[in-house]
A and B are shown apart, each in its own frame.
Chain A
Amino acid sequence: MERVLIKQGAEGKLYSSEFYGKPCIVKERFTKSYRHPALDKSLTTQRMKAEARALLRCRMSGIECPALYMVDIESRCIIMERVLNSVTVREYTRTLQEKDDAKNLLSLAKQIGEVLGRLHSNNIIHGDLTTSNMLIKGYGENSRIILIDFGLSYFDSVAEDKGVDLYVLERAFLSTHPNTEALFQVILDTYKDNNKTGAEDVMKKLEEIRMRGRKRTMVG
Chain B
Amino acid sequence: MAAEVIANELFPDSTITLALFRNVENVKEIRQCVMNGTFEAAILKTSMIVDPFQVIVAANKAVVHQNKVGKMMTKNVHSEILFNLSPSKNISDSFRKFGAGDTDQSVFIAVIDDKTGQTLQAIQNTVKGQQVDVDEVKQLSDLNNIKKIYKLTDAELSWSPLDALVTRIAAKDIMTI
Q: Looking at the assembled complex, report how far the CB atom of A119 sits from the nearest CB atom of chain B, in whole angstroms.
A: 13
Interface string of B64-92 (1 = CB under 8 A from A): 10001000000000000000000000000
Which of chain A's residues 154-185 have a Cβ closer than 8 Å to chain B? Answer: none
Question: Of B159, B175, B177, which is within 8 A of A56 by CB?
Answer: B175
Contacts of B64 in A (CB 8 A): 70, 72
Q: Looking at the assembled complex, report how far the CB atom of B14 sits from the nearest CB atom of chain A, in whole angstroms.
A: 13
B13 at the interface (CB under 8 A from A): no
Which of chain A's residues 4-62 have a Cβ closer than 8 Å to chain B? Answer: 19-20, 22, 49, 52-53, 55-56, 59-62
Contacts of A61 in B (CB 8 A): 153, 155
Contacts of A69 in B (CB 8 A): 57, 166, 170
User: Mostly helix, strand, loop or mixed at chain A's interface?
Assistant: mixed
Q: A49-B177, A68-B166 are in contact. Are A62 and B171 (CB under 8 A)?
A: no
Range of interface residues on A (Cβ < 8 Å)? 20 to 34
B60 at the interface (CB under 8 A from A): yes
Q: Is the CB of B171 within 8 A of A60?
A: no
Q: A20-B60, A59-B163 are in contact. Are A71 and B170 (CB under 8 A)?
A: yes
Contacts of B153 in A (CB 8 A): 60-62
Contacts of B53 in A (CB 8 A): 20, 22
A1 at the interface (CB under 8 A from B): yes
Q: Which residues of A contact B (CB under 8 A)?
A: 1, 19-20, 22, 49, 52-53, 55-56, 59-62, 64, 67-72, 74-75, 81
Q: Which residues of B contact A (CB under 8 A)?
A: 6, 9-10, 53, 56-57, 60-61, 64, 68, 153, 155-156, 158-159, 163-164, 166-168, 170-171, 174-175, 177
